[in-house]
A and B are shown apart, each in its own frame.
Chain A
Amino acid sequence: MEPIIPAKVQESIDHFAKKDVYIHLETTNGAYASHFDEKFFSAGAYIRNANIQYEHGKIVGEGPYRVGLKLPIGWVYAEGLTHYGFDERGRLLLAGHDYDGKLAVALEIGEVPFK
């Protein structure tokens, strides 16, 4: 994974537009957040291998970045993205790593399902 280069990511988002794609979308503050700080409200969500098609998508911001994908009748959204890369199956991997190196958000797009 490398620090995001918006143009590269935009190119990849464009490549996957109007195709049947699988996405992994995740936010997390870690399962122990409320254990270490009882005042912390722990929340997170993930969806894996959701099969979608989006009309177009954009990466926006100065870093950390935001990505939005416009669906025929809905949206996919992620914020806090810092790094990007591609896996061996050509899938776009976007992640937001916090200052301690912990993953806070991930958005991944590919034409083959994730394992």
Chain B
Amino acid sequence: MEIEKERQVLVVFPHPDDEAFGVSGTLAVHIKRGTPVTYACLTLGEMGRNLGNPPFATRESLPDIRKAELKEAAKAIGIKDLRMMGLRDKTVEFEDDQKMVKLVADLIEELKPSLIISFYPGFSVHPDHEATARAVVRAVRQLPDEERPKLHLVAFANNTETDLGPADIIHDVSDVFEHKMNAMRAHISQTAWMLKEMEKLLAVNDEETVQRVKFERFWLYDWAKDNVSDIED
């Protein structure tokens, strides 16, 4: 389906590379049209496991490597407003919940996005993804209905299709395929293994892989079934 024209897009993910696989094509299309895109990346993926054997990085040098990769990926996609929010990998769910909501609410207040792209709460597997998703839903929920930006959410838990049904939105990003590949390549410290496999499959036109890379899937948040808890004061 055609990617709808937006006024301002806000992307909120916790880890460098969360944007690359699932949404970088969509973002590249928005940017090509001149729509401003802000990417708030909450952590630097400090606790990433891919350090190589023989090692190319240490636990302590990884954050700087991933920061540089994140900037490189943003460049590949065309993102000019990249914000690194200074949280630490694997700790997002333990942050103060009010603070998390405020972090997202402040971005909304400042940017007035017409669309927010993030994860779907309950269907995004990693605890940092889930905490990010909850903060986004809570921040949007406190706005009056008519002021709420659209939520296009990434879901990839094994039970996604069973529980949420098929994706509501499917974008064909073939036109910006190279931008997307370059965004994934930018995160080489974390994606080398996967990319090698993926490029092999793309070379032989493996249908499943082509579908996965060229089509980006989003679910609309179902407010009727909203089960993100309120924060206790």
Where the two chains meet, the residues of A that have a C-beta atom closer than 8 Å to any C-beta of B are: 1, 3, 24, 26, 28, 30-32, 35, 38, 46, 82-83, 85, 87, 91, 93, 95, 97-104, 106, 108, 114-115
Contact = CB atoms under 8 A, between A and B. Distances in A.
B59 A26 contact: yes
Interface of B: prevailing SS:
loop
Contacts of B58: 1, 85, 87, 93, 95
A95 B51 contact: yes
A35 B53 contact: no
Interface residues of B, number: 21
Interface in B91-127: 125-127
A101 B53 contact: yes
A102 B125 CA distance: 19
Contacts of B51: 1, 95, 97, 101-103
19 contacts: A1-B55, A1-B58, A3-B54, A31-B90, A32-B125, A83-B53, A83-B55, A85-B58, A93-B59, A93-B60, A95-B55, A95-B58, A98-B53, A100-B53, A101-B55, A102-B49, A106-B59, A108-B59, A115-B60
Given A31-B125, A35-B125, A115-B63, 6 more contacts: A1-B51, A38-B158, A46-B90, A83-B54, A87-B60, A87-B61
